[in-house]
Amino acid sequence: MRRNRERMKKVTIFAIITSLFVSTFSIANEVNVFNARHYKADAELYSKFTNLTGIKVNLINGKSGALEKRIISEGADSSADLYITADAGRCGAMDAKGTLQGGLTSPAIKSAVPKTFRTSKWVGIAKRARIIYYSPERVTGAELSGMTYEGLADPKWKGRLVIRKSSNIYNKSLVASLIKNNGKAATAAWAEGVVANMARTPTGNDRAQIMAVAAGEADIAVANTYYLALMLSGKKGAEQQEAAKKVKAFFPNQNDRGTHMNVSCAALVKGAPNKANAIKLVEFLLTPDSQEHFTNNTFEFPMIDGVSPSLLVVNNLGLDFKQDMKTKLASYGKNQAAAVEVMTAAGWK
């Protein structure tokens, strides 16, 4: 009897331990995404991931700055697995603050994403280019021939250029890339030239720059590629749709390193409680079906080969352009402070 009781006791303890293991596994069958991309299309993708894998995606939505502060302040107590945002410079800056960890190095990720667009801690999930938009009525082909980002400082554009504020993360990354390629001193002189050429004090988002060209307030603007397609789609109203029809797109630096590229990125947070599930989610976002979902809904360029951009993008922006594959996007975060410094010194509001 005593042996039976001891045997029953062992079985009961084993059952409790097994129950706790199963319960813990069940609770852990999730992934926590601190999400700074605010697209309905993204939420649809996460639902597909859950249906496919059974892994629940817990979305904590917010602005990039607020999410970053929360991750940093919570430290080891953070529940964040992935931080997903719309600029490589932000992911690089988070890495510099020691908030990320390695692990995004699975064969699926490495084979899908070129080295230029990833590190072991963060990976691009969709691409965009920051390009020039111009008025075909007021800008000639000769003026644009061989045009580069460096050429934005040419005095011929005095009073003809609009671009966002220096505090805008897309501009920080663009200027950071120029520092990487041309050096800080040359980029500082360039920033002074850009400020001298501005048609107005920087204001508004990327779409506002395109609208300024359409309205005749400027002749050229700098903005990301997906904004024009978004405007042409009609999702932002008839006024913006009509404005988008009045401008043309131009891809700079085609005769040298290629057009400046940026990404939406997924970063693996240090101490992620569901690291394996986080990696699975990133791999899912890099599948052809997910990439097609991005291109057709957010109008970004696909990260992987074998997927075409939206027809709206192809028909209005073109597809055959040289991308800058030389400048590693990790340099955007590393040169971000220097980029802010040169823009501020130049009086870039």
At 249 the three-state DSSP class reads strand
pLDDT of residue 5: 41
Amino acid sitting at position 48: K
The dihedrals phi and psi of 63, each to the nearest 5 degrees, come to -75, 150
In 3D space, the residue among 124, 41, 33 whose CA is nearest the CA of residue 87 turns out to be 124
Residues near 66 by beta carbon (within 8 Å), at least 6 away in sequence: none
Which 8-state DSSP code applies to residue 156? G
Whether the Cβ atoms of residue 210 and residue 133 lie closer than 8 Å to each other: yes
Cβ of 19: how many Cβ atoms within 10 Å?
A: 10
Amino acid sitting at position 72: I
- In this predicted model, what pLDDT tens digit does every residue of 233-250 receive, in sequence order? 999 999 999 999 999 999
Query: What is the arithmetic mean of pLDDT over 133-138?
Result: 98
In 3D space, the residue among 130, 145, 132 whose CA is nearest the CA of residue 197 turns out to be 132
DSSP-assigned letters across all residues of 67-80: HHHHHHHHGGG---
Which band of pLDDT confidence, cut at 50, 70 and 90, is reported for residue 28? low
Tokens found for residue 81: 């697995």
pLDDT of residue 217: 98
Query: What is the arithmetic mean of pLDDT over 305-333?
Result: 93
pLDDT of residue 318: 79
What is the rounded CA–CA span in Å between residue 31 and residue 189? 46
At 81 the three-state DSSP class reads coil
| Ranges 28-32, 143-147, 213-217: which has the least confidence | 28-32
Cβ of 1: how many Cβ atoms within 10 Å?
A: 5
- In this predicted model, what pLDDT tens digit does every residue of 185-205 receive, in sequence order? 999 999 999 999 999 999 999
Cβ of 319: how many Cβ atoms within 10 Å?
A: 10
Answer yes or no: is pLDDT of 10 > 60. Answer: no
Tokens found for residue 225: 């590629």
Answer yes or no: is pLDDT of 325 > 50. Answer: yes
pTM above 0.75, yes or no: yes
What is the rounded CA–CA span in Å between residue 30 and residue 327? 35
More confident: 177 or 18: 177
Answer yes or no: is pLDDT of 7 > 60. Answer: no
Which band of pLDDT confidence, cut at 50, 70 and 90, is reported for residue 169? very high
- In this predicted model, what pLDDT tens digit does every residue of 40-80 receive, in sequence order? 899 999 999 999 999 999 999 999 999 999 999 999 999 99
246: left (phi over 0), alpha (psi -120 to 50) or beta: alpha
Enumerate the β-bridge partners of residue 83.
34, 267
Burial group, residue 183, by CB count within 10 angstroms (0-12, 13-18, 19+) = exposed
What is the rounded CA–CA span in Å between residue 86 and residue 300? 11
Compute CA distances 152 → 41, 159, 197, 203, 344, whole Å: 35, 11, 8, 18, 17
Query: What is the arithmetic mean of pLDDT over 4-33?
Result: 48
Which band of pLDDT confidence, cut at 50, 70 and 90, is reported for residue 167? very high
| Ranges 8-17, 102-111, 150-159, 228-237: which has the least confidence | 8-17
Query: What is the arithmetic mean of pLDDT over 101-124?
Result: 98
Residues in the chain: 349
CA 252 to chain centre: 20
What domains appear along the chain, each with residue ranges and CATH number?
A: 2-127+263-310 (3.40.190.10), 129-260+321-345 (3.40.190.10)
Question: Which residue bears the tokens 């007021």?
Answer: 138
